[in-house]
Amino acid sequence: MTERTSRKLMRVLDGEAVWPQPIWLMRQAGRYLPEYRETRGRAGGFLELCYNPDFAVEVTLQPIRRFGFDASILFSDILVVPHALGQKVWFEEGEGPRLAPIATLDDVKRLGADKDPLEHLAPVIETVRRLRAELPSETTLLGFCGAPWTLASYMIAGRSTPEQAPLRLAVYRDPAFVIGLIERLVETSIRYLVAQIDAGADAVQIFESMGTSLPPSLVETVSLGPLRRIVEGVKAERPQARIIVFVRGGGHLHRLAAAGFADAVGVDWQTDIAAAVARLPEGLPSQGNLDPLALVAGGRALEEGIDAILAATRGRPHVFNLGHGIEKETPIAHVEAMIARVRGA
């Protein structure tokens, strides 16, 4: 058996219905783990943690040591890309990310003008390289980036905003500015993902976390079109690459699936999994979609949520996961119970 075929998640991405299903969790390295909180305290700050390969490797490995997940996802943040392009990014404790907003096409033209963003991201790529050497051979290593629409929402508003109103206003008022920004992000994302693959990532995931705010008339222009160009750009350079696309906002899931460029589609927790997979093209791998709060609650809610996903996806290629990132209040015992139930099905 080759290393690739020993990695259950990679077999799913190649279209195999593996049972028990491989399992990993979005944000599986994070604040719900005491060892993560201790390491972050030693790192001195969130971005310092992301850019220090010693610390980043450690926190990426922590959930693998504790839970034995089938995949490990690089510990980093989607906002390292705007940061690498020269935008000021910082994190306020308890409040999340802050950025110095950009507002014009001239601002876009200045992005990345002073330094190659891949030079700035070299420590992240080094983390990927070390992880592949340190992970168990059967564990899939996932890299990732944020989708252009999602990144643009932070870059224009300077923070997370309800329903991404500043970005939506900008795309209506000054489409050339927004489209120019998205194109810059497409170019950088292709290079970033290729670098992660070259460093040892088995597959990569693109996070369209702000998909719930997408107006239907703009989905193709600002989301699906850019996502397609990233996937096609990566595969033009690395044809063997496997790419998962996660769009938060179930209303666009089937447009994504029908577009045919993703190797697997993530399903968010707001989507009925049985109805979703019934409409997916046969053989298209899926991933998700347990409600993160069901995992916080535990007990019957957790068991019923798990069982519904397993029943809907048995016999098709599916990766068990949450429908969004794990919550910091999640009890470790609930994660253990979830893993046992999925693997014991």
Which residue among 4, 54, 66, 77 is the active-site one?
77
Map tokens 């992301």 to a residue.
Answer: 50
* DSSP calls for 201-240: -SEEEEEETTGGG--GGGHIIIIIHHHHHHHHHHHHH-TT
**70 noted as active-site residue:** no
CB 202 within 8 A of CB 263: no
H or E element that contains 253: helix 253-259
Indicate the angle between helix axes 122-134 and 53-67, nearest 10 degrees. 40
Q: For residue 199, how far is the Cα from the chain centroid?
A: 18
Q: Please give the Cα distance from 283 to 17 (Å, whole number).
A: 9
**32 noted as active-site residue:** no
Return phi, psi of residue 63, to 5°: -70, -25
**110 noted as active-site residue:** no
Which residue among 4, 14, 40, 255 is the active-site one?
40
**129 noted as active-site residue:** no
CA atoms 91, 96, 97, 101: torsion sign: negative
Q: Which residues contact 108 (CB under 8 A, 6 or more apart)?
A: 102, 177, 180, 181, 184
Question: Which tokens belong to 10?
Answer: 């990679």
Phi-psi region of 2 (alpha: psi -120 to 50; beta: other; left: phi over 0): beta
Q: Please give the Cα distance from 331 to 293 (Å, whole number).
A: 11
Which residue among 7, 11, 27, 184 is the active-site one?
27
**202 noted as active-site residue:** no
Which residue among 32, 36, 51, 154 is the active-site one?
154
Active site residues: 27, 31, 40, 77, 154
